[in-house]
Amino acid sequence: MKKVLYVILGCIGLGLGALGAALPLLPAFPFLMLSAFCFARSSERLHSWFTSTRLYKNNLESFVRGKGMTWRTKLRIMGVVTLTMAFGFAMMGRVPVGRIILAIVWVCHILYFIFGIRTIPATQVTEESEEDIWQDENAA
């Protein structure tokens, strides 16, 4: 029963992550992380499939491997979060405490992405992807 729940949550996360990759206002990263987490706990086959998808490789692979993110990925995530939080900030016109909390969360988020996650050059991600393809072709 637990595995079925993980598969369902993973599929929902995958669907929302795929939408987030295409729509500018919906963040893909947290939903794809949810998918990776759920698939890893539910099915080795689903996890292997998911980690071989382009969606995973473009959005999560370098982060999951502990290598970091490119500036482009960081800026995309920070931009979506900033737009989303700006909408919430605007809607809290009569709740100054809510605005203060939201502003603090936003600043912490920006600081974490700038200083907490290592920035890697885009060329490093491309080179790693090419190495993976070369290794896969030679393994067959």
At residue 90, the pLDDT reads: 92
Query: Which one, of 13, 19, 14, lies nearest residue 80 by Cα?
Result: 19
At residue 138, the pLDDT reads: 44
At residue 130, the pLDDT reads: 45
Q: What is the pLDDT along the chain (140 residues), one digit of tens a residue?
A: 889 999 999 999 899 888 877 776 667 778 888 899 999 999 899 989 998 988 888 777 777 777 788 888 888 888 878 888 898 899 998 999 989 998 998 998 889 888 888 888 877 655 555 444 444 444 44
Tokens 């079925």, residue? 4
Q: Is the dihedral of CA 57, 62, 66, 68 positive or negative?
A: negative
Output the CA–CA distances (angstroms, integers) from residue 57 to 64, 65, 72, 129, in the order listed: 10, 11, 14, 8
